[in-house]
């Protein structure tokens, strides 16, 4: 299996080096799409550009749809604007906009000036919207007819443009009057109508619409409570500007939650692929690590203040990392539940007090359990019940602190319009580390007369 | 805002207590769906059951679609099987199966026996599939006609059953011959055909299909390389068993990535909502924490072995948690990139060596950077260059170890058919903690003659 694959990449490289478009096409067609994505992702950037130069624009567009976005962007930057434009014209309008939005302004403008004026205008409009609002998720590929059209005119248009419409989602056509959305027409209803009837009489008026600025949570809610496959998007003046599909909303939701996961784990400055240059990967990861090392040193400085206590009861040093790690675990559980409830709409960012009370009791119970475990470990190891009491109490109290911070910080960050996925973790661990070290060492200092040394 | 909401929940509780279905309906209709989901989620379990008893089955089904799954399951367990069956019959077939699959076997059977035989059979079939394969994601709501039907027969059927078909995705009808999928019929093509023509002549033969056992990654790939909104699902004998939509696949992908995130953060034993009973929430979180506390004590036991070294150079105790935390951060970045590349199909579980080499160099570069930072901090604090060298070297080496483990463990776990989201974190932190503590303390022990005490 692994051997086959290496051979496959070699033959792809060979065909590219030989510049043989016919052999290339035959090779690509012989492979399942997942193998193609993998093989293409392992090419050098230059080979990938050469590959795409050899393909017909339509096939190249198909290949690019399966590519991770950073690779597709890099590719566009290597191709001539004419070539890029020819490929981009074969992508759905929302993907055109996503890609152009990621390019340098000058590169995007150069490509737009090579596209047909109509496509360029639509891509320009779409790329002005953020990725996660209706305007950024909608497509321009939909059917629209004036309210004055007849059944016959609609049917003729469908027949004439059958080719172009074949990639549209055509359950519904959108009917406009004076540029504004007037109603939706279920195409199936045309089956049962006389040809000379005006569609005005069979459309559904005042359809459900969303504003182009509606955010992802609002869109999810709409699709959760309706069975529609798509919803028309209007601007503030009621003009139809696009259609957002259920699938596009679900894709955006999946992308957001994958991104949130990456952010909580410290993959921050844009997505990382291992095919990217080493220096770029290292630099991006280091940016996040540097902030964390500073916060860590800050937290550990608490230990430095209590060196004498620690020197007197050196066994405490064993428990400092345990309390730091376990508080992090408890706090992260609370963060995860808050992130989940925020995304399900089951908690509002303002409900800090309610969330805290709900976490408090979990913290008390689990704090007692973890404190008991850690205290038992200390007692079993050193036979010193006072040592057990000190580390157990510190563990218990710090668990309560950790879940309190973990549960509420995501809500507070959301309220402050900051990104909870990004900042909750570092805030949590810094504060719980400081509190944890302080609790162990100050309790030990206070109980010093009763603690066995060593 | 917060005040309004409390009032709203009170009035919902009042209407339920008063048992006034008319007032209830008026209240629910006056609210945006997100407010309804939030208000209903805050009711007691008993009140929620009473609420649903008061609603028409169809409206209750609509309410349940917006509810988090654990609440919907609890609800079904509280209602009579007749009532549950009446509500479930108004849900799409894939959601019927999901819900029934979550119930106790006996409860599910009681509800199934109250459903219409046709719906019960379909729900029973669907609930046998895992949630994340084509069989578990497909719906039974699709149009199917025998290959021998005429255009007129299809049109008549569409007209007769317009009501029932209104929630179907009807761009295509699926054409069978002797029970097996024979082709797909684009409904729009019917517009342009004489009524007495047999559909055999206008259907598209050998359509793209997926097996009922196809997994989520395979389905994503299919939709990434095709513009279809739905794909017919067949069993091993080629019989049409359902249709899986692009939106269903994207929803499953979003759910999976949200679940993976929850698992990495230690929310493991089923999803947690803060409306659940305290004991259940505490117990589920504690199960995960107990494993971690044991692993933590194991890792920290390394410190216990080096008590004398630590007692001689107490400043080392400040750096142990820093090295433990920072190695965790570096390792988690590598875990996240591996998880991401696995889900995008950009790395195969077998490519452990390649991944390791890719991580190795990031680890060396970032290890040098972090080691330098930590060494500088130690030198600035104590003015002892040997202390800086010891902690800096330990930090650098342990960063390389952390990214090596973090990058490769998800692949190895996937190869062993274990869940990388669940196990990667604990394995990573346990090993890197042990190595980190060992490196700091054994290096210090070796360099003891040159280290300043205290």
pLDDT in tens, B407-453: 999 999 999 999 999 899 999 999 999 999 999 999 999 998 887 76
**Stretch B109-133: mean pLDDT, rounded?**
88
- The pLDDT assigned to A6 comes to 66
Q: Does A313 touch chain B (CB under 8 A)?
A: no
Q: Tell me which residue in B278, B311, B319 faces A362 most closely, judged by beta carbons.
A: B278
- The pLDDT assigned to B1 comes to 44
Q: Tell me which chain A residues have a C-beta less than 8 angstroms from the C-beta of B326.
A: 289, 292-293, 296
Angle at B257 between CA A231 and CA B424, to 5 degrees: 175
Contact A68, A41 (CB under 8 A): yes
Q: Do B258 and A340 touch (CB under 8 A)?
A: yes
Q: Report d(CA B59, CA B52) in Å as an integer.
A: 9
Q: Do B267 and A333 touch (CB under 8 A)?
A: yes
Q: Tell me which chain B residues have a C-beta less than 8 angstroms from the C-beta of A341.
A: 273-274
Helical spans, DSSP H, in B277-351? 278-305, 307-312, 316-344
The minimum CA-CA distance between A230 and chain B, rounded to whole Å, is 11
pLDDT in tens, B209-237: 999 999 998 898 888 877 778 899 999 99
Q: Which of A274, A288, A312 is nearest to A445 (CA)?
A: A312
pLDDT in tens, B344-359: 888 999 999 999 999 9
Q: Do B337 and A267 touch (CB under 8 A)?
A: yes
Query: Which residues share a beta bridge with A185?
Result: A173
Which residue in this structure is represented by tokens 């504003």?
A211
- The pLDDT assigned to A169 comes to 66
pLDDT in tens, A385-429: 999 999 999 999 999 999 999 999 999 999 999 999 989 999 999
- List the single range of A169-183, A357-371, B302-316 with lowest mean pLDDT: A169-183
Which residue in this structure is represented by tokens 């601007």?
A235
Strands (E), A124-270: 144-146, 172-177, 180-186, 204-205, 210-211, 230-234, 240-245
**Stretch A99-113: mean pLDDT, rounded?**
90
Q: Do B350 and A1 touch (CB under 8 A)?
A: yes
Which residues are CB-neighbours of A313 under 8 A, at least 6 positions away? A387, A444, A448, A451, A452, A453, A454
- List the single range of A130-134, A188-192, A395-399 with lowest mean pLDDT: A188-192
Q: Which of A406, A265, A250 is nearest to A338 (CA)?
A: A406
Asked whether residue A17 carries a pLDDT value surpassing 50, the answer given is yes
Band of the pLDDT at B167, cuts 50, 70, 90?
low
Phi, psi for A206 (deg, rounded to 5): 45, 60
Band of the pLDDT at A167, cuts 50, 70, 90?
low
Q: Does A299 touch chain B (CB under 8 A)?
A: yes
pLDDT in tens, A214-246: 999 889 888 887 777 889 999 999 899 999 988
- The pLDDT assigned to A133 comes to 92
Q: Tell me which chain A residues have a C-beta less than 8 angstroms from the C-beta of B340.
A: 258, 262, 267, 271-272
Q: Report d(CA B332, CA B323) in Å as an integer.
A: 14
**B369-428 residues touching A, CB cutoff 8 A:** 369-370, 373-374, 377, 381
Q: Residue A305 burial (CB < 10 Å; 0-12/13-18/19+)? A: middle
Contact B326, B363 (CB under 8 A): no
- The pLDDT assigned to B4 comes to 64
**Stretch B188-195: mean pLDDT, rounded?**
77
Asked whether residue A302 carries a pLDDT value surpassing 90, the answer given is yes
User: Higher model confidence: residue A78 or residue B20?
Assistant: A78
Asked whether residue B338 carries a pLDDT value surpassing 80, the answer given is yes
User: How high is the mean pLDDT of chain B?
Assistant: 89
Q: Tell me which chain B residues have a C-beta less than 8 angstroms from the C-beta of A370.
A: 286, 289, 293
Band of the pLDDT at A1, cuts 50, 70, 90?
very low
Q: Report d(CA A14, CA A18) in Å as an integer.
A: 6
Query: Which residues share a beta bridge with B245?
Result: B230
Contact B404, B377 (CB under 8 A): no
User: How high is the mean pLDDT of chain A?
Assistant: 89
Q: What is the pTM of this model?
A: 0.88
Q: Tell me which residue in B254, B317, B321 faces A324 most closely, judged by beta carbons.
A: B321
Q: Tell me which chain A residues have a C-beta less than 8 angstroms from the C-beta of B336.
A: 261-262, 265-267
């Amino acid at each position: 299996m692994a051997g086959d694959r290496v051979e496959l990449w070699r033959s792809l490289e060979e065909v590219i080096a030989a510049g043989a478009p016919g052999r290339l096409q035959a090779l690509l067609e012989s492979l399942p799409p997942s193998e193609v994505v993998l093989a293409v992702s392992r090419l050098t950037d230059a080979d990938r550009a050469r590959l795409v130069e050899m393909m017909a624009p339509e096939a190249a567009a198909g290949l690019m749809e399966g590519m991770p976005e950073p690779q597709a962007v890099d590719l566009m930057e290597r191709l001539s604007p004419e070539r890029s434009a020819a490929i981009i014209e074969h992508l759905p309008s929302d993907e055109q906009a996503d890609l152009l939005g990621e390019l340098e302004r000058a590169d995007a403008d150069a490509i737009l000036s090579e596209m047909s004026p109509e496509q360029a205008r639509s891509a320009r409009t779409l790329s002005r919207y953020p990725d996660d609002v209706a305007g950024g998720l909608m497509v321009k590929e939909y059917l629209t007819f004036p309210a004055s059209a007849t059944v016959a005119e609609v049917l003729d248009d469908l027949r004439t443009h059958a080719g172009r419409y074949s990639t549209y989602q055509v359950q519904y056509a959108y009917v406009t009057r004076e540029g504004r959305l007037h109603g939706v027409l279920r195409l199936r209803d045309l089956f049962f109508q006389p040809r000379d009837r005006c569609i005005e009489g069979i459309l559904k008026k005042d359809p459900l619409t969303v504003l182009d600025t509606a955010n992802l949570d609002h869109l999810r809610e709409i699709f959760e409570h309706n069975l529609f496959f798509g919803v028309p998007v209007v601007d503030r003046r009621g003009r139809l500007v696009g259609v957002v599909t259920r699938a596009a909303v679900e894709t955006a939701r999946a992308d957001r939650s994958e991104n949130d996961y990456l952010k909580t784990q410290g993959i921050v400055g844009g997505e990382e692929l291992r095919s990217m240059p080493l220096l770029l990967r290292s630099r991006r990861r280091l940016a996040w690590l540097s902030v964390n090392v500073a916060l860590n040193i800050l937290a550990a400085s608490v230990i430095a203040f209590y060196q004498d206590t620690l020197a007197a009861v050196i066994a405490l040093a064993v428990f400092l990392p345990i309390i730091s790690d376990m508080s992090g675990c408890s706090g992260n559980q609370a963060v995860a539940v808050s992130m989940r409830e925020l995304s399900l709409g089951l908690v509002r960012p303002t409900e800090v007090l309610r969330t805290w009370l709900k976490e408090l009791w979990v913290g008390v119970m689990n704090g007692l359990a973890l404190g008991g475990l850690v205290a038992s470990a200390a007692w079993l190891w050193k036979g010193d019940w006072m040592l057990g009491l000190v580390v157990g109490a510190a563990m218990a109290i710090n668990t309560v602190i950790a879940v309190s911070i973990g549960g509420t910080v995501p809500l507070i960050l959301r309220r402050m319009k900051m990104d909870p996925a990004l900042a909750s973790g570092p805030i949590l661990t810094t504060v719980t580390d400081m509190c944890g070290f302080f609790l162990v060492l100050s309790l030990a200092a206070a109980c010093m007369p009763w603690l066995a040394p060593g």
